[in-house]
Amino acid sequence: MNLKKHIPNTITLMNLLSGSAAAIFALNGQFLIAVALTGLAAVFDFFDGFAARLLNVKSDTGKELDSLADVISFGFTPSVILFCMIRENTALMPSAAITALLPYASLLIGAFSALRLAKFNLDTRQSESFLGLPTPANAMFIVSLPLISGSSAIQNAGIITLAAGNLWFQLLLIPISCFLLVSEIPLFALKFSNGFSFALNRVKYIFLLISVILLIVLKWAGIPAVIIAYILISLISTKKKY
């Protein structure tokens, strides 16, 4: 029995289990653990593909399993976290019948994440780059919000901190996320398939440097800032090509 062919799928299942546990912790109000587990799921999501390429055991089963795990970890889980944030927002009037249903709109993010992953599996144009925001990036933007809005230690990120806890921002984030997930916006992938030279990967290295600076300066608020920087740098670099 060839055990090495099961290693990537095992890592993918760890992604799924981490994301599932994150959703449960979020429902219990333990957002720090939920964010940590979502981040762990993202690590597993990176290494399952890396392991498959390293061991030369890529398979159609692994590809499908990866998408199924991502639906949970980076679709359902951020939907649950945003659901909890909107439901617990003090600006929401739970006594009104219509507003009581507003938190459930966050589940659209999980639905559009599933649609994005299904399209990705069939789209041959996305082998080296992306069209639309990858589900892990969208998820990390959302899951960081409760930590930002609940932290009194964040400095230099006043606008981001205020926005994270604002009900209208949370509601507006739903259609924006859904649009970005299934859009045709070209975004670069953090894959070094052509080597690690700076000349061939200039955009990726610049993005990584900016990301480190944002995370050091803004702490938790640096996570959504990094995702915004990722989109902007992708748009700028793509525009230069044409």
CA-angle at 49, arms to 44 and 55, nearest 5°: 115
Per residue of the chain (242 residues), give pLDDT as tens.
Answer: 567 777 888 888 999 999 999 999 999 988 889 989 999 999 888 887 777 777 777 777 777 888 899 999 999 999 999 999 888 877 776 666 677 788 899 999 999 999 999 888 877 776 667 888 999 999 999 998 988 876 544 544 555 666 777 888 888 999 999 999 999 888 888 776 565 666 667 888 888 999 999 998 888 888 889 999 999 988 887 765 54
Q: How many residues does the chain have?
A: 242
Beta strands of the chain (E only): which ranges?
129-131, 186-188
Q: Which of 236, 128, 145, 142 is nearest to 192 (CA)?
A: 128
Domain 3-187 indexed as CATH 1.20.120.1760: yes
pLDDT at 242: 42
In the chain, domain spans = 3-187
pLDDT at 66: 85
Q: Are 210 and 161 in contact (CB under 8 A)?
A: no
One-letter identity of residue 81: I
**SS3 at position 64:** helix
pLDDT at 18: 93
User: Could you give the C-alpha distances from 108 to 31, 65, 77, 163, in angstroms and in order?
Assistant: 20, 22, 12, 21
50-64: b or e for each residue (b if 16 or more CB lie within 10 Å)?
A: ebbeeeebeeeebee
Alpha-carbon span 5 to 51, nearest angstrom = 9
pLDDT at 94: 64
pLDDT at 131: 86
